[in-house]
Each structure stands twice: as structure tokens, then as C-alpha cells.
Amino acid sequence: MSGKVYVSGKLLPKEQAVVSVYDHGLLYGDGVFEGIRVYGGRVFLLDEHVERLYESAKAIRLEIPLSPAEMTTAVEETVAANGIADGYVRLVITRGAGTLGLDIRRTSHPQVIIIADTITLYPPELYEKGLELVTASTIRNHPSALSARIKSLNYLNNIMAKIEATDQDKVEALMLNHKGEVAECTGDNIFIVKQGVLKTPPPDAGILEGITRGAVIRLAQQDGITVQQTTMVRHDVYVADECFLTGTAAEVIPAVKVDGRVIGDGSPGPVTRRLLDLFRRLTRGE
């Protein structure tokens, strides 16, 4: 397939989809983004992603040159132009080209980039068997330094932790916050199940408020499962009955071992399997 990328109002062939080397998105990681799934030709939870994108942009004083409604249309048109039925959209807004130096007043023309492609984050068998996590020594950015609620182009904090995982042949790392509490993983939110109660760290643990996290919380509540957004430490994960991660690219994936400790009986538990099933049904529009 040829592949067309939306760049600031135009659908361009992949090879011609470029931005300036003076773009502050490249020079300083100055910009925001979203990752969005497409299931059966429908862009999944698009309104929520567009809302978070505009909130991230607002927080970094970046004015997106499209209205949310225009952005929604641009995403849908890009997906259609690429004939994507099941895939992934990467929506990127950069600060635009400027002079060398941090001053945002010396930049112009924020770039809107929409890539519609496919993605496989983890090997399929891990969705059946569950994955193994290690805790990274790199802590999550202090929320007073940079709010984790902003989905910014600055992912070095997460990349440093991911390197620790891959150095140990693991696909994901658990990240703690500056207080030593469980925050999230490098690109996913974390849930545990203890005595039938579903628990996940609250937004003030310094996490990205994942849209998949929100969807899973709603599914659990509708299914009569008690959900608590509660502070937790590593010990809570070690002694949990079940553990799983959520993210747009990851979807819902069981975690069965953390820092060498087996979670539950070492296989995906009943609550995890139930939520995985409910999530898959939701993505199919059932």
C-alpha cells in the first residue's frame, strides 16, 4: 500500500511527508501527540483522544491550528485514505519551525501530522501467557517538573526506563514516582486485583491518565467489579492476585511476574481474562 500521511492540511505520499529540521518538535521535543486505535474501520474513542490532545496542547501553551471538530475529520479522512480497517493512528502536533533557542514566540506554524498505519506492540502469545515486568531504577518525572498528564513529545523519561527493561530481555518496566509509589509502566497504565477488588494508581501518582485505563474502569464498574484508584507500592503488586497493563497500543495485557515474583499462580487470572474479553467486545462495537 502506498501510504499517505497528513501534514498540515495535505495528504502526502510517505516519502514527501516531512517537517523542518528547525521544528521545535525535533529540536526540543516541544509538542504533543496521541496514539489511537482503529477497529473495524472505526476510530476507537476518538473524541476522548482529541480532548486529551487539546488539553495537553493547552498545558504547554501550544495553539493547534484546527478546531477539535476539524481534527476529528482530518483523522477520519487520513484513516480512510490509507484504507485502514484495523490499525493505529499517530497524531502529532509540533511547535513548528523557529530560531535556535527555546522562545516559543520565535516559532510559527505548528505542524499537524497524522500517520495511519498498523502496530504490533507485544508478541501475540504474551496476551495468553502474560508478560514479565521489572522495576526500573529510573523514576517517573516529578509531576512538578513536568506533568505526566501532558502527552508530550518528550518521552526520554519513559525511554530510559524501557532501556532498563530491554537490557534485561523484558518488554516492559514498572515505573515508580518520586515518593516510591507505583506510577505506571513506560507506555501503559497498571492495574492489580486483590481479593476481587480492581486497583489502579490515581492520577496524582504522576501518571498519564490513559484512555484505555478509563475504558477498563468503566467496563469493570458496569460488570459489578469494585474499582479503587488508590496509592500503591511495589509490595502491593508483588502480593496481588492478578496484574495487567492497559494502553492504546498494548490494549489489555496480563502481567504474571514482577521483579522475579510470580503474581498469583503465574497465569492470567479470572478478572483479567474477563476484562480482556469485555475490552475486545467493546473494540468490536458489541
Minimum CB distance to ligand PMP, residue 283 (Å): 13
Judge whether 151 counts as a catalytic residue. yes
State which residue, 111 or 248, has the beta carbon closest to ligand PMP. Answer: 248
| Interface pick for ligand PMP out of 25, 35, 110, 254 (rule CB under 6 A) | 35
213 lies in the site for ligand PMP, by CB under 6 A: yes
Is residue 31 a contact point for ligand PMP (CB under 6 A)?
no
Q: Which of 10, 58, 151, 170 is catalytic?
A: 151
Question: Can residue 200 be called a binding residue for ligand PMP (CB under 6 A)?
Answer: no
Q: Of 57-76, which residues contact ligand PMP (CB under 6 A)?
A: none
Site size toward ligand PMP (CB under 6 A) is 15
- Nearer Cβ to ligand PMP, position 97 or 161? 161
DSSP the chain: ---EEEETTEEEEGGG----TTBHHHHH--EEEEEEEEETTEETTHHHHHHHHHHHHHHTT---SS-HHHHHHHHHHHHHHTT-SSEEEEEEEE--EE-SSS-GGGEE---EEEEEE----S-TTHHHH-EEEEE-SSPPPPTTTS-TTS-BS--HHHHHHHHHHHHTT-SEEEEE-TTS-EEEESSSEEEEEETTEEEE--GGGT----HHHHHHHHHHHHTT--EEE----HHHHHT-SEEEEEETTTEEEEEEEETTEEPTTSS--HHHHHHHHHHHHHHTT-
- Residues involved in catalysis: 151
Binding site residues, ligand PMP, CB under 6 A: 35, 158, 184, 187-189, 208, 210-213, 246-249
